[in-house]
Structure 1
Amino acid sequence: MALAGNQYLESRFPWIPNHGYVLTLKADRLEELERDLAGNSICSQAIPKIPMAMRRKPMLCFLSTKKGYLTHVARSVVYYAAESGKDKLEIWNLILFAKPVSIARIRSKIEGRQGWRARKAITGGHVSSVAFDLIMAALLQVDPEAAKFAEGLINRSSPPSDTTPNNAKINWAYQRDAVITSLEIAGIPKEQLKIKSQLDENSSDELTSIFDINETVTTIEDLAILQDLDNTNEDWVFVKRQHYPAKTFVNGEAKLTVILANKLPLEMQLGVDLIYVNETMKSVVFVQYKMFAGTDGEDGYRPNDQLAIEIERMHEAAATLAGVATDESCDGYRFGSDPFFLKFCSKLLSHETGSHVPGIYVPVGYWKRLLKAVTRQGVRGGTVVHAETFGKRYFTPTHFIDMVARGWAGTSALQTDVLAPYLRDMLAGKKGVVLAIKSPLPANPMDEDEGLPTHHRVVKPKKPRYPGRKPKTVEI
């Protein structure tokens, strides 16, 4: 059975639950949770309070949507209390059993001196450590296939031998994620980027970008994609004349040029920004990356002086953009005036798939408000922000990519020219910058002469979100 919201399974770090929970839900409530999973890759349900000692510890959750049967299994954890005075159960990696498993049959197979605890727990509620082991053993006897699904959520593998988050590894992962995100915004298959997700331990210490090992990369001065920018603002000439590694990706009518503006080895870089220039929609978006500390991001993020400096730079740029005349055109309409975003992510050094690193996107303007409202303090004092701090007030990578691709976020068309000095200052600094510029491919004169369509786009059907499940039929 394929997994939904599976970013956590992409980690090479252990996830070993020693207790569990049996959650009984109505079918309509399950549909609501599945919609949350589809959009956020995680959902939550209020439950009676569990022992305080069990909070923040991995917990395998069995779900029952059919009376007398277990129908699903998922990963879960309790971090905080719910507003109703109950506990808030966070759920992800929801898996539907091939067939419902009889609770009565599981109870009949439970054995041992503590069997009474397990037989009581399987009917609903928190499952203690002792009862959890007995239930897992009984499930294996009753339905080996269902037990395999449950066991598949448990990761007992040891962490990699070298997990030191040095600058080189972090910046490699940031660069790759920025490029992957750019490809997905442009609608270009991410498989075109054949770059390992993690920095090879045997790589040269002189690498300055993920493109340094790619022989097809050219320097920016060889690219014609920026030629039209020279005619609008001479500040863009500075960008074009820099000898930065760049690569162009093409898919149908979409053309994306990615520029990795780095002049220092990865080890010496201070971080990576993504600047996405959408020439089609005449918008520019800036993304600053930040990482949650800890194996699973459990240690949160501590705002520091460096972030304050970066936000001040964004504030100065935003103040300049605010002075630009309002764009009254339909193409110039945006949801908001803030083109600056922060992306918070964990699993950075354990991400092994071809997609982007799962994370949380928030506009910088909202981040400023959130920072003032945060009251949770770290062990050593100071403000600490966790993923849970954002609640549902954030954009998932899927939301962000779709929003930028459709031109709902970013600068207006009239603000583009004033951004050149800001980009020049960033490219001249010590920070690594990923500049991605999407442009439509020019029409083919031969096609026009022959009266043929300019482009021949092949639209592949979307992959099902839940492979193996029959699509729902909606009658109107």
Structure 2
Amino acid sequence: MPQFENQYPQAGAFWIPEIGFLLQVKANRLKELEDALHFREICSQGIREIPVALRRKWMLCFVSTDGRFLTHVARSVVYYAAESGRDKLDIWNLTPLEAPVRISAIKKKLEGAQTWRARKALDAGGTLSAKAFEQIMDALKRVDPLAHRIATGLVDRKRPPPELGPTTARMNWAYQRDAAVTALEIAGIPKERLKAAAQLNGENLTDTTSIFDDEQSMRAMEDVLILRDLETGDRDWNYVKSQQYPARTFENGETKLTIVLANKMELEKQLGVDLIYVNETLGAVVFVQYKMFEGDDGEAGYRPDAQLDKEIARMDAAATELAKVAPDVTCDGYRFCSDPFFLKFCTRLLTYEEKSHVPGFYVTREYWKRLVLDRRMEGKKGGKILYPETLGRRYFTPSAFTGLVSRGWVGTSALQAKVLVPFIAAAMKGKKGIVLAVQSKTPADPDDAERRRRTRMPPKPRYPGKRGKVIQI
């Protein structure tokens, strides 16, 4: 039996296909798919649109290059539409058969009441209904037992092992690690400097487990991260660094990044976010709230809840205060948008094993408020639900997001950042009930002062009832 090296992240165990798929491709395209799987765990092929009801269902895929023989089998699924307007068939575990199997031989061995469906599917390609798939597998077993064993070898009926450790603790760990990796990528520091494991399993895990815990230093975990990419001797920031928070400083040449897992209570109450990134080089602060899709690869979607409503309300209140700060008209103060708040919807948060950031989708707070009112988020029973494909192409990828933050194209203005740093420091000092409040100041116009100096009123008019004139010199 072949060893499957190109494992799809979520398909290592308990993978049972509900239906089948016959993929007809040219031989050179098949070679391209095989080559792609040498470098990544999954490849994709554009196919004609399949019924919506068949999306997100595991499919055992048979591959033919000439319409006469089956040469390969694979695991497959359709989650999203392709950019070309077709559907995107995700393929992994692509496995060659020991010898090509003649399709006509399989058709001759078909038995059952709906044989015509199976014959039609073998002729036209595409999806195989549950009944047609069952009949084709039975016929394949009679035609070529070895090919049947290879195909059934992709089916795994073993239940996955139970998760070790409480889910909340594992989510906290995953949020911390992803935020720290994102910060390192923004600062241009190799993410390999962070030694934290992608996933943490253990029966003794608690909600206070930190990615910076070690044998010499066990400190309370708080899942709001304060990240600062440059030290300037700011007194407030020096106070933050002197406290006993779980923290690490990373250096790469002249770049210095300090990551603090800060006490979340007052900051969470005020800002409703999980990550605060301070790009002090360009004077921009970015806030990120994490949310997790349900399902192995986000297929079960995310349902907005009351907790998100509270978090959005906190962001709105903070944004209202920040809007009172005078506008920054400098070149470094220019931003693509004035919204510094982002939501990251994560996929595979609790199963991701790579060293990079967790796959996900970034959207601004303002875009989310529009999206949640849009019909595309309406669920089958009238509720609201967000799937990865609901976003279409309207989101920032993690790499695009880190690029925008590192170059200062998004976030607060430098003037707003100066207001935020003392507020953050005060919250971390443990001050209770602290409120982010900005006194609105109208910027002084030098022309106004000069105009007032050069403007005089004439003496009281000699004839009452007539308006005096303002003389502008």
TM bin (shorter chain): 0.5 to 0.7
Tell me the residue number matched to 1:92: 90
Are 1:105 and 2:102 matched, yes or no? yes
Distance in 2 separating the partners of 1:251 and 1:140: 63
Alignment of 1:39-58 (within 5 A): 47=48, 49-50=50-51, 52=53, 54-58=54-58
Q: Deviations over 1:339-389 (max 9, x none)?
A: 211011232222233232211111111101101114644577542222222
Q: What is the CA-CA distance between 1:417 and the residue it aligns to?
A: 0.9
Distance in 1 separating the partners of 2:43 and 2:157: 22
CA spacing shift, 1:237–1:202, aligned 2, 3 Å: same
Q: Deviations over 1:141-187 (max 9, x none)?
A: 99989997x88976654223137863222111111111122223333
Question: Scaled by the length of structure 2, what TM-score is found?
Answer: 0.67
Tell me the residue number matched to 2:232: 228
Q: Deviations over 1:298-338 (max 9, x none)?
A: 33222223222222222233234333323431x44433222
Distance in 1 separating the partners of 2:427 and 2:171: 19
5+ residue gaps in structure 1? 265-269, 431-476
The answer as to whether partners of 2:10 and 2:296 remain within 8 angstroms in 1 is no
**For 2:160, what is the secondary structure of its paired residue?**
coil
Tell me the residue number matched to 1:121: 121
CA spacing shift, 1:50–1:164, aligned 2, 3 Å: farther
Q: What is the CA-CA distance between 1:246 and the residue it aligns to?
A: 0.8
**For 2:212, what is the secondary structure of its paired residue?**
helix
5+ residue gaps in structure 2? 221-226, 266-270, 432-473
Matched residue type, 1:169: R
CA spacing shift, 1:313–1:228, aligned 2, 3 Å: same
The answer as to whether partners of 2:165 and 2:205 remain within 8 angstroms in 1 is no
**For 2:335, what is the secondary structure of its paired residue?**
coil
Are 1:326 and 2:324 matched, yes or no? no
The answer as to whether partners of 1:229 and 1:236 remain within 8 angstroms in 2 is yes
Q: What is the CA-CA distance between 1:428 and the residue it aligns to?
A: 6.3
Alignment of 1:303-322 (within 5 A): 303-322=304-323
> Identity of aligned pairs, percent?
48
CA spacing shift, 1:58–1:338, aligned 2, 3 Å: same
**For 1:383, what is the secondary structure of its paired residue?**
coil
Distance in 2 separating the partners of 1:151 and 1:183: 43
Distance in 2 separating the partners of 1:324 and 1:65: 65
**For 1:228, what is the secondary structure of its paired residue?**
coil
Q: Which has the higher contact order (CA 8 A, sep 6+)?
A: 1
Number of residue pairs matched by the alignment: 406
Q: What is the CA-CA distance between 1:248 and the residue it aligns to?
A: 1.9
**For 2:181, what is the secondary structure of its paired residue?**
helix
**For 1:212, what is the secondary structure of its paired residue?**
coil
Tell me the residue number matched to 1:352: 353
Tell me the residue number matched to 2:168: 167
Q: What is the CA-CA distance between 1:261 and the residue it aligns to?
A: 1.2
CA spacing shift, 1:112–1:29, aligned 2, 3 Å: closer
The answer as to whether partners of 1:303 and 1:384 remain within 8 angstroms in 2 is yes
Q: What is the CA-CA distance between 1:391 and the residue it aligns to?
A: 1.7
**For 1:257, what is the secondary structure of its paired residue?**
strand
CA spacing shift, 1:321–1:144, aligned 2, 3 Å: farther
Larger-gyration structure (1/2):
2
Q: Deviations over 1:391-443 (max 9, x none)?
A: 2211222322333234333233343212224534664689xxxxxxxxxxxxx
Tell me the residue number matched to 1:394: 395
